[in-house]
Structure 1
Amino acid sequence: MYSLKANSWRRLQNISGYFQFWGAWGIFIGGALHWITVTPLGSPSILAFDLGVENYREVLMPRLQNNYCENLNMVIFADSLCMLEYHPLIRIDVWVMKEYGVGNSWCKLFSVEQPKVTRCCMSITPIFYSKNRKDVLLEVDSKKLMWYNLKKKRARTVKITNLPEIFDLEVYTESLVSPDYNISCGGTQVLSRPQEKKKQQQQRNKR
């Protein structure tokens, strides 16, 4: 961990047990960074690193039907930890942990059917609610935006001119984390968020 005050790096404690990290980017909420990991038994889990006390802990998963990490993604939605469960060509389930750290507070917020609603997309990311909370803005395949109506279960495309072919939309939270994700570490280039999403989508296609 790098300390701005001391202007130096220091090594943190090792993780007790074996966890294979899925994805490079930690999700920050509740004073901790969270990753989807694979346990020695091959099942998905959530591993958190508490920045305050500098230790690792597991966070209970929602009761998913899917046990493959390549069909899961984790984001922040409505200030809550959010798990996306992909059922390719069928639907995408959106789970949220309503009370952080409480395992039984996970609930399925909504599902987006495919191809009825979003055609054959590979990924969606919920961004935020509309003002009346009847719609959710979705980022679809890092290529387009759609408003999804929770009651009617229909989606409409948001038309924005001059959007790049691939983009990544984030809700801004003031922090010291650099917005420049496309960096190099030890001579190895770290994938930007859109590139990482594209890689995960390709891995889902292979299953």
Structure 2
Amino acid sequence: MALPCDLIFDQILCRVPVKYLLRCRCVSKEWCSIIDSAAFINKHAKTIIESNAGSGIIITGSETLFLTDTESFYGDEDVVVTEIKDPLKTVFPGADFVGVANSLLCFCKNNWNDFLLYNPSTRKHRKVPSMGEFVLWFDMVNVSQCGFGYDHVNDDYKIVKVVDFCGLVVMVYSLRSNCWTQIHKVPDNIEIYPKSRKGMFASGALHWLAAKKMPASSFIILGFDLGFERFNEIPSPVARNGNFYIADGGSLCIVEQCTNSRTDVWLINNYGAENPWYKAFSVEQPGPLGSFRAFSPVVFSRSGKDVLLEVDSSKLVWV
């Protein structure tokens, strides 16, 4: 007895990882049409979020990007990693990776003024419209920041562009409305670090390493809530400028080089608390990683006791 189509799509396929959905599109024209529909894409994304299954991980290479899913790291079978080729090498060559939210990828180019959204499950893309006259403003500065994330309050995806042009200028793109708007209520006593170009998405907000101008060198994490489109400040766990990452599960993570031989990793324990950070672990060298220049957390194990590290942008190691 065949299963009803509604049951197949609403209860089964919406839980299938992205890499297998590409194969399912080849079953029939009906399956392809439904999987490509906006309704199914939204339902699939929400199901992934609610199940905490982990919708996707981007692994960077020297000149390429690779996409996999969290479940691949926990199974007994070999990890399946897919190189992202189109549309980056055809309609959007030379692009930089901005971020990923629910397996929807964001890229940018031309001084981070041109953006493209790409859905690897359907292999469809959308070029984001221009910011108009604001592009001229942004071209006047050498460094700008941007970020991409999911707005769960309004069921929307948003790109945020920030520059310091006689004060912070903030523009937000909404996928739902397909247009840019300017945020007028911005902090006036904060400087975002130039190297913190990509906003890290976690807990419904984008985050950058920053400092308060008064008192001098007061390190903070500057957050921008995508749902309510407002800024907030999170105290930094380190007294110096560390490296900033996002580990799988949406955890803010700071990697602090303490000495030539020891590196500490800090994680958010309770977002919004007065002292939200805790030291998750330290890595010594020489040690289990051998000699290395740098590493970044990629994903934590289900037990939370092990972490997968990308070491020197060339290998993945469980510790």
Normalization by structure 1: what TM-score? 0.61
Q: How does 1:43-192 map to 2 (within 5 A)?
A: 43-62=218-237, 64=238, 66-67=239-240, 69=241, 71-148=242-319
Structure with bigger RCO (C-alpha 8 Å, 6+ apart): 1
Once the 2 structures are TM-superposed, how far is the Cα of residue 143 of structure 1 from its aligned partner? 1.0
Within 2, Cα distance between the matches of 1:42 and 1:17?
A: 11
Partner of 2:199: 26
RMSD (Å), alpha carbons: 2.1
DSSP-derived class of the 1:117 partner: coil
Within 2, Cα distance between the matches of 1:142 and 1:85?
A: 18
Describe the superposition over 1:139-183 as per-residue Cα deviations: whole angstroms up to 9, x where unpaired. 1111111111xxxxxxxxxxxxxxxxxxxxxxxxxxxxxxxxxxx
Within 2, Cα distance between the matches of 1:120 and 1:44?
A: 30
DSSP-derived class of the 1:103 partner: coil
Describe the superposition over 1:47-96 as per-residue Cα deviations: whole angstroms up to 9, x where unpaired. 0011122111111222x2x41x2x43232344422211123522111111
Describe the superposition over 1:16-72 as per-residue Cα deviations: whole angstroms up to 9, x where unpaired. 22313342111111211001113321242100011122111111222x2x41x2x43
Partner of 2:211: 38
DSSP-derived class of the 2:275 partner: helix
Q: Using a 3 Å threshold, how does the CA distance of structure 1 residues 83 and 98 change in structure 2: closer, same or farther?
A: same
* Structure 1: 4+ residue segments shifted above 6 A: none
Name stretches of at least 5 consecutive residues in structure 2 with no aligned partner: 1-171
The answer to whether the Cα contact below 8 Å between 2:294 and 2:312 also exists between their aligned partners in 1 is: yes
DSSP-derived class of the 1:120 partner: coil
More helix by share: 2
The answer to whether the Cα contact below 8 Å between 2:247 and 2:299 also exists between their aligned partners in 1 is: no
Matched pairs, number: 144
Q: Using a 3 Å threshold, how does the CA distance of structure 1 residues 3 and 78 change in structure 2: closer, same or farther?
A: closer
Within 1, Cα distance between the matches of 2:304 and 2:177?
A: 45
Within 2, Cα distance between the matches of 1:44 and 1:77?
A: 24
Partner of 1:10: 181
Q: Percent identity?
A: 38
Within 1, Cα distance between the matches of 2:284 and 2:307?
A: 14
Within 1, Cα distance between the matches of 2:303 and 2:187?
A: 43
The higher radius of gyration belongs to: 2
The answer to whether the Cα contact below 8 Å between 1:27 and 1:76 also exists between their aligned partners in 2 is: no
Within 1, Cα distance between the matches of 2:302 and 2:251?
A: 18
DSSP-derived class of the 2:309 partner: strand
DSSP-derived class of the 1:11 partner: strand
Name stretches of at least 5 consecutive residues in structure 1 with no aligned partner: 149-207
The answer to whether the Cα contact below 8 Å between 1:81 and 1:100 also exists between their aligned partners in 2 is: no
